Amino acid sequence: MTGTDRTPGRPPASVSVVIPVRDGAAVLHRQLDALAAQTFTGSWEVVIADNGSTDGSGQVAMGWSDRLPGLRVIDASQRRGVGPARNRGCEESTSEAVLFCDADDEASPEWVASMVAALASHPIVGGPCQIEDPDGSIVPAPDRLGLTLGIVPFPLGGCFGVWRDVFAEVGGFEADHPEAQAEDAEFCLRAWELGHVAGFAPGALLTKSRRPDLRSTYRQWKGYGTGAMFNALRFRDRGTMRLLGRGELRLLGWMVVHLPAVRTREGRMRWVRWWAAKVGWLTGYVRYRRLPVAPRPPGARALVSPPA
């Protein structure tokens, strides 16, 4: 771990790219090839956080050691989950800032450089994520970060950058969070209360693959719903349950207005995602209704709409 001199307007002098992986030997090549093609010329390293792989993912990753700077594979198997793996990767990194990406995605050539540049102005950053369908068609990336509870901007965990002193102050990713289910939003809720607001890195484009069928899409979005309920219950004394319901009413209205779209495959998939998330809500409520409330730090920033 290194010290950090986070002067406003100065990008980090060094950066670590952390990739959590468990049994990703068949897909790692996509992201590692993309990282090997980065335009960034500063000081950086790549840390593979192996979360208990049994398929030789670590050995596969080391096949890129001649093309990636400071490539290391570290043992992150002590606790299963993408959050603990990311935390372990950050602990083992040696840079002022950390970028997190996933093993099966694909970073654009400017991804590292754009994320580092954005960190000069923001404590936490994320880039646009476009979606690639199984047929190769692309769903364009949004031009801003998503908002959890309609208020707090958050990057997706697979396209996430943060100064390491901010990461330490926030406390890392919640180790008890449902795996890969809105843990990124929960981190940003805690960061928000401490005064750290995520910013957008428009040039840091990343491509994510969409699930190929209704069954896997349903499981994925049910998980997102479970994670969203975990977050709402974790901060329920701040009024998050009301915020969650308010946002859902707006989304339901949009879905009803666009009901004719179910005649298309994309429209049907949208409804499957919405319904699965609601099942996830119920699952999360039953599972986490007695979850202890997150401690509120002294002088915590309120969960209110930021100024325009």
Per-residue pLDDT at 1 exceeds 50: no
pLDDT of 306 reads 46
**pLDDT tens figures, 79-136:** 999 999 999 999 999 999 999 999 999 999 999 999 999 999 999 999 999 999 877 8
Neighbour tally for 186: CB within 10 Å: 25
* pLDDT score of 258: 62
2: tokens are 């290194």
Q: Please check the confidence at residue 247 and state whether its pLDDT lies above 70.
A: no
* Per-residue pLDDT at 2: 45
Cα 7 to chain centroid distance, Å, stands at 25
- The 10s digit of each residue's pLDDT in 205-220 is 999 988 777 788 888 8
Find out whether 12 and 87 touch, Cβ atoms under 8 Å.
no
Question: Mean pLDDT in the chain?
Answer: 90
pLDDT at 74: 97
Residue 33 pLDDT = 97
**β-bridge pairing 159-163 and 124-126:** antiparallel
Pick the range with the lowest mean pLDDT from 19-23, 163-167, 224-228: 224-228
